[in-house]
């Protein structure tokens, strides 16, 4: 039997085991066909769903995927005719919110956010967690790709299935429902973050508490992450409300205007939180500076008090023969009484001036 080629050290040279591709069905969470606002019974693969829609000449297919790999996404892309650049964005994620058009397919990237519960704003390491949702909208299909454990769309699908008149508007009604769901989550997250900002404000301006500036910076970092996830969505929402392009139906554009109004409210809140935290950083630094000045005054006052006995002891430690009170019987107690009187006087003087 022929032997395998080997390295000089005697070890056999073996090629790495090729990675077995995982079928696209593993990444598909749900796949359905909707006709006249109603979901057709039965289970479909992504290719069978599109075939059914085009055979009927009406309705659309909605394919939901979660964290697909390159092979799985490529399989779906070939079925629905998705551009390779869209496929690359859907696989690798970490994109800013954006809206792109490839012929008659619209590609929208949404950043999802979720509030991370914590006991105190002083002990929290993470306040918001982000994920992504990519939505591909064509004339007769919707493909959603989710990244992150909290970016579920099952509730959106169930809600839409209770509104057949909305689903009857076509794939764009799904895009609106997903966008509205994401922006509504922004509203709830900003309301909870506002409580953290208020708590931080109370800690900073409470004279009995000493808050570390690092805690404010941590909260500000989370606000920055929230702003990067939310604010860029404003431009895509504006584009979806414009009649240019002719893809989005007029009725759906009206719904997108409402979503855009809610997004504007969220963006304004986040900007307000950012400004408040910047002010809190300045206030905390000023509070630290005041405390340092107070400590320095206390130290200076005690140094001044200690300088009196130190100076007198230094003078009498020079060992000259002809010095006052050296031969007096009451010289030593007189000097001690003088030192105590001066130190006591300085103590009350500094105390009256709030140095001690």
Domains and CATH numbers, the chain: 24-287 (3.30.460.20), 288-352 (1.20.58)
Q: pLDDT in tens for each of the 356 residues of the chain?
A: 444 454 455 444 455 555 566 777 888 999 999 999 999 999 999 999 999 999 999 999 999 999 999 999 999 999 999 999 988 988 887 778 999 998 899 999 999 999 999 888 888 888 999 999 999 999 999 999 999 888 789 999 999 999 999 999 999 999 999 999 999 999 999 999 999 999 988 888 887 777 778 888 889 999 999 999 999 999 999 999 988 667 888 889 999 999 999 999 999 999 999 999 999 888 888 877 777 787 788 888 888 888 888 888 887 777 777 777 677 777 778 788 888 888 888 888 888 888 77
Per-residue confidence (pLDDT) for residue 72, from 0 to 100: 92
Distance CA 170, CA 37 (A): 8
Contact, 147 vs 227, CB < 8 A?
Answer: no
- Kindly give the residue spans of alpha helices, DSSP state H, lying in the chain: 46-56, 70-80, 84-92, 154-161, 164-167, 171-205, 213-230, 234-240, 250-316, 331-352
Cβ of 39: how many Cβ atoms within 10 Å? 16
Rg value, the chain, Cα: 36
Contact, 273 vs 193, CB < 8 A?
Answer: yes
Give the DSSP letter of residue 25. G
* Ramachandran category for residue 351: left, alpha or beta (phi over 0 → left; psi -120 to 50 → alpha): alpha
Distance CA 46, CA 138 (A): 14
Contact, 201 vs 280, CB < 8 A?
Answer: yes
Contact, 254 vs 173, CB < 8 A?
Answer: no
Distance CA 169, CA 281 (A): 50
Q: Is 244 exposed, middle or buried (0-12, 13-18, 19+ CB in 10 A)?
A: exposed
Spatial strand order in the sheet of 38-39: 38-39, 28-35, 60-66, 141-147, 128-138, 105-115, 98-102
Q: Is 150 exposed, middle or buried (0-12, 13-18, 19+ CB in 10 A)?
A: middle
Taken in order 118, 123, 125, 130, the sign of the CA dihedral is positive
* Ramachandran category for residue 59: left, alpha or beta (phi over 0 → left; psi -120 to 50 → alpha): left
Distance CA 175, CA 339 (A): 85
Distance CA 348, CA 356 (A): 9
């Amino acid at each position: 039997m022929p032997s395998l080629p080997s390295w000089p050290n005697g070890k056999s040279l073996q090629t790495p085991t090729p990675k077995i591709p995982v079928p696209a069905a593993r990444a598909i969470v749900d796949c359905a066909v909707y006709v006249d606002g109603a979901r057709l019974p039965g289970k479909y693969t992504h290719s069978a769903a599109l075939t059914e829609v085009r055979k009927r000449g009406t309705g659309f297919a909605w394919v939901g995927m979660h964290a697909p790999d390159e092979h799985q996404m490529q399989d779906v892309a070939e079925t629905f005719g998705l551009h390779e650049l869209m496929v690359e964005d859907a696989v690798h994620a970490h994109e800013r919110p954006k809206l792109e058009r490839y012929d008659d397919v619209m590609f929208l990237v949404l950043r999802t956010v979720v509030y991370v519960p914590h006991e105190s704003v002083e002990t929290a390491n993470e306040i918001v967690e982000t994920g992504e949702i990519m939505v591909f909208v064509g004339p007769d299909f919707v493909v959603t790709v989710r990244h992150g454990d909290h970016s579920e769309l099952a509730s959106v699908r169930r809600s839409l299935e209770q509104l057949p008149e909305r689903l009857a508007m076509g794939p764009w009604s799904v895009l609106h429902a997903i966008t509205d769901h994401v922006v509504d989550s922004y509203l709830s997250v900003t309301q909870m973050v506002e409580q953290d900002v208020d708590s931080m404000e109370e800690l900073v301006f409470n004279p009995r508490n000493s808050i570390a500036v690092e805690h404010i910076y941590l909260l500000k970092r989370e606000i920055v992450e929230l702003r990067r996830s939310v604010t860029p969505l404003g431009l895509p929402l504006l584009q979806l409300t414009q009649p240019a392009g002719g893809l989005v139906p007029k009725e759906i554009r009206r719904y997108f205007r409402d979503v855009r109004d809610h997004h504007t409210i969220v963006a304004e809140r986040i900007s307000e939180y950012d400004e408040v935290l910047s002010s809190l950083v300045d206030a905390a630094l000023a509070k630290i500076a005041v405390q340092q000045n107070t400590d320095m005054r206390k130290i200076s006052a005690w140094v001044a008090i200690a300088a009196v006995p130190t100076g007198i002891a230094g003078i009498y430690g020079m060992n000259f023969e002809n010095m006052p009170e050296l031969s007096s019987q009451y010289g030593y107690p007189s000097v001690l009484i003088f030192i105590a009187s001066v130190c006591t006087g300085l103590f009350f003087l500094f105390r009256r001036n709030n140095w001690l």
